[in-house]
Structure 1
Amino acid sequence: MDLTFSQEQEELRGVVRAFLRDVSPEEEVRRLMETPSGHDPAVWTKMSDQLGLQGLAVPEDLGGAGAGPLEVGIVAEELGRALSGAPFLSTCVLAVQAILAADDPGCSRELLPGIACGVTVATVAFSEPGRPWDSPAEDTAVRHVDGRWLIDGAKELVLDGAHADLILVTARGDQGVGLYAVSGDAPGLTRTLSPALDPTRKLARLEFAGTPAHPVGPGDAGSRILSRTLDHASAALAAEAVGVAQFLLDLVVAHVKDRVQFGRPIGAFQAVQHACANMYVEVESARAAAHHALWSAAANSPELPLAASLAKSCCTDAAMRVATEAIQLLGGIGVTWEHPAHLYFRRAKSSQLLFGDTDQHRDALVRRLDARLTGA
């Protein structure tokens, strides 16, 4: 596997980084994190009109760019570096991959063009109170009444769920667990913002009471769709965590060059140099794991479930360790509200838990490896 990016992919990274530098400075991040949606709709429109980011993974015949997980991962990494609250992970990874995995041409034609052109903000609602992240639907039910599909139940920790225009919901019916599309303004849908450690990433609780929906894919394909979607989402989240860690490393290196103690920059002290070297190793190791997962996704490799769980646990843990070390090296200022370090620390911690914590992913990795070795 050739883990190098093409010239076009590196140009995409440069364009996205320059764009985010202009539209997502720290002051804007702080302003937007106090809003219910956490992002600026005008900037979301610019991301579509000027860069076409929302349609990267959407097929060309449906209005997208026909790119793949590598390009999506590059964008996710840069969004993490900028601590952007744009609903890219929910819309362009979770929702797009769920629709593609459903293999329903009619629904793809109906749902994907709106996402590709930046009009539709979408998400996937699958986590239920008291259930594991990868449990598709136990308490959320769908029923067929007078020719209509109606959903009852609740989902929690739904990424960008409070303001999404389209919600893809896993629900259990007579055929098994399926995926169903629900409009954001559907009757019987109640949406409540959830308190979160990371104010830049908006989560919501959704309650369904006879909420109209329509199926996306076969009525028993929900588990398969969710498994595939979470593999892609874990790879993208791993890339985002690399961006978070890289920003903090750059921030600390600049700080230790400028901060003077005992007549010398603190970067001249061996203990500080060792700490920065360890942070660099963490970032580069995480980058390799994330890129391997993205390449596995791009190649549609059977290794993707293993690579995704490995990357999710490795990269989010690395981001957390880098964030902790960064605050230590920044000294007292690193824990003040005015400094950005604590915001990146919060993002790193929330990423550790999103889509299943690192222990869950390591357990899944062990189970999958054991199944392969035993032939089960």
Structure 2
Amino acid sequence: MDFTLDSEQLALRDAVRGLLGKAYGSIDARRDATASDPGFDEKTWSRLADMGVLALPFAEEDGGVGAGPAEVMVVAEEVGRVLAPEPFVEAVVLAGGLVAAQGTAEQRAELIGGLAAGESLLALAHLEPGRHWSAGAPDVTATRSGDGWTLDGVKEPVLHGARADVLLVTAAVEGRTALFVVRADAGGLERTGYRTFDGSRAAHVRFISTPAEPLGEPGADATAALEAALAAARVAYAHESVGAMATALETTSEYLRTRKQFGVPLKTFQALTFRAADMYVSLELARSAAAWATLVLADEPERAPEAARRAAFQVSKAGRHVGQEAIQLHGGIGMTAEYSVGHYTARLTAIDHLLGDGSDHLRHLAASVSDHGVVEPMP
């Protein structure tokens, strides 16, 4: 497999890196952006739209660029490198991916067009209190009301749900999981936003006979589209984590080179150097797993859910290792909110729990072991 970026992908990487590096060149800039709602810089989001980044994965007829998974993952990794708080994965990959897969031509033109232009923010309202990472959504119900539909129930956490202009909501319809579009000004919609521990934003969303529009065919089972979108998002989050881990390792290595103890740099102590080398191994294993999952997503989409879980499991282990070691090797300063490595570790931890943690992915993968047949041992 060739994991090398071509010239256009390198140009995209450099352009996004330049924009996000200027906006979040220090952890203080990121802290300022997340200090107040909506938890990210609206101007930076608009600049990403102007560059065509928000339109990358969508078909040209829907107002997109028509790029593939590799280009999306290039952007996700750059988002992770500087901990950019903009909801690229949440809005473009996850919510936008569902519109592209399930929406009618009119819905795609409106919703994707608005998202790509930076004029409208989409958010997926899928997770429900007390339920773990499942493609089902039994606690929010959809009911026919005259010529339309209404929703009842609670979704939480809804990432960037308080700021979103449009919510894509999963709901139970006669035992199936269907998708609905809810506008921010809909009646019976209650949204309570809050700050998460990594500085991002989420919301408690309650639907009380809230008018909703079916996404695509009314009442159609959206499980397959949801699984595909979750797989794409898991791979994108894996690349975001790789970007974050790369910066955490670079920051730690620089600290070991410059910080002195007993009159010599910390890198002089072999035990510390070995620990940094182990961080590098974890990072490269995660990078390889994420790149492989991206190729599977592009060439064999039917295998994407399993590949995404494999990559997410590897990234879960690596993220915990790299984040904890970055803090430990920095000593006391690594525990302070003023220093960057703690923020990187917080984001890595948050990503690990967004769409299933390592234990959840391992449980799903173990359940399918018997599907792969028997391998004869080597003599």
TM-score, normalised relative to structure 1? 0.95
Task: Verify the 8 A CA contact 2:107 2:215 in the aligned structure 1.
Answer: yes
> Aligned equivalents of 1:30 and 1:274: distance in 2?
32
TM-superposition CA deviations, 1:235-272 (whole Å, max 9, x none): 00100110110010000111111011122111121111
Once the two structures are TM-superposed, the CA of residue 284 in structure 1 deviates from its matched residue by 0.7
Q: Tell me which residue corresponds to 1:179.
A: 179
Q: Tell me which residue corresponds to 1:214.
A: 213
Task: Verify the 8 A CA contact 1:134 1:227 in the aligned structure 2.
Answer: no
Once the two structures are TM-superposed, the CA of residue 345 in structure 1 deviates from its matched residue by 1.1
**RMSD, matched Cα:** 1.5
Give the match's secondary structure for 2:192: strand
1:242 aligns with 2:242: yes
**Which residue type is aligned with residue 150 of structure 2?**
L
**Which residue type is aligned with residue 32 of structure 1?**
A
Once the two structures are TM-superposed, the CA of residue 319 in structure 1 deviates from its matched residue by 1.6
Q: Tell me which residue corresponds to 1:105.
A: 105
> Aligned equivalents of 2:373 and 2:119: distance in 1?
46
Once the two structures are TM-superposed, the CA of residue 369 in structure 1 deviates from its matched residue by 3.6
Once the two structures are TM-superposed, the CA of residue 175 in structure 1 deviates from its matched residue by 6.9
Once the two structures are TM-superposed, the CA of residue 107 in structure 1 deviates from its matched residue by 2.1
> Aligned equivalents of 1:337 and 1:258: distance in 2?
21
TM-superposition CA deviations, 1:319-351 (whole Å, max 9, x none): 221010011111111111211111111111111
1:348 aligns with 2:348: yes
Q: Tell me which residue corresponds to 1:115.
A: 115
Once the two structures are TM-superposed, the CA of residue 220 in structure 1 deviates from its matched residue by 3.0
Q: Tell me which residue corresponds to 2:259.
A: 259
**TM-aligned CA distance change 1:255 to 1:157, over 3 Å:** same
Pairs within 5 Å for 1:220-231: 220-231=220-231
Once the two structures are TM-superposed, the CA of residue 171 in structure 1 deviates from its matched residue by 0.5
TM-superposition CA deviations, 1:56-115 (whole Å, max 9, x none): 011112221110211111111111111111011111111111112216333212321111
Once the two structures are TM-superposed, the CA of residue 189 in structure 1 deviates from its matched residue by 0.9
Task: Verify the 8 A CA contact 1:139 1:154 in the aligned structure 2.
Answer: yes
1:162 aligns with 2:162: yes
> Aligned equivalents of 1:226 and 1:182: distance in 2?
17
Give the match's secondary structure for 2:301: coil
**TM-aligned CA distance change 1:23 to 1:195, over 3 Å:** closer
> Aligned equivalents of 1:262 and 1:224: distance in 2?
60
**Which residue type is aligned with residue 90 of structure 1?**
E
> Aligned equivalents of 2:40 and 2:297: distance in 1?
28
Once the two structures are TM-superposed, the CA of residue 222 in structure 1 deviates from its matched residue by 2.0
Once the two structures are TM-superposed, the CA of residue 210 in structure 1 deviates from its matched residue by 1.0
**Which residue type is aligned with residue 174 of structure 2?**
D
Pairs within 5 Å for 1:1-376: 1-25=1-25, 26-49=27-50, 51-102=51-102, 104-174=104-174, 176-194=176-194, 196-199=196-199, 201-218=200-217, 219-373=219-373
**Which residue type is aligned with residue 213 of structure 2?**
H
Percent identity reads 37
- 5+ residue gaps, structure 1: none
Give the match's secondary structure for 1:205: strand
Once the two structures are TM-superposed, the CA of residue 12 in structure 1 deviates from its matched residue by 1.1
**Which residue type is aligned with residue 68 of structure 2?**
G
- 5+ residue gaps, structure 2: 375-379
Worse-superposed segment, 160-169 or 7-16: 7-16
TM-score, normalised relative to structure 2? 0.94
> Aligned equivalents of 1:353 and 1:360: distance in 2?
10
> Aligned equivalents of 1:8 and 1:99: distance in 2?
27
Once the two structures are TM-superposed, the CA of residue 158 in structure 1 deviates from its matched residue by 1.1
**Which residue type is aligned with residue 46 of structure 1?**
R
Task: Verify the 8 A CA contact 2:316 2:357 in the aligned structure 1.
Answer: no
**TM-aligned CA distance change 1:103 to 1:122, over 3 Å:** closer
> Aligned equivalents of 1:372 and 1:159: distance in 2?
36
**TM-aligned CA distance change 1:29 to 1:248, over 3 Å:** same
**TM-aligned CA distance change 1:278 to 1:309, over 3 Å:** same
Kindly tell me the number of residue pairs found equivalent between the two proteins. Answer: 372
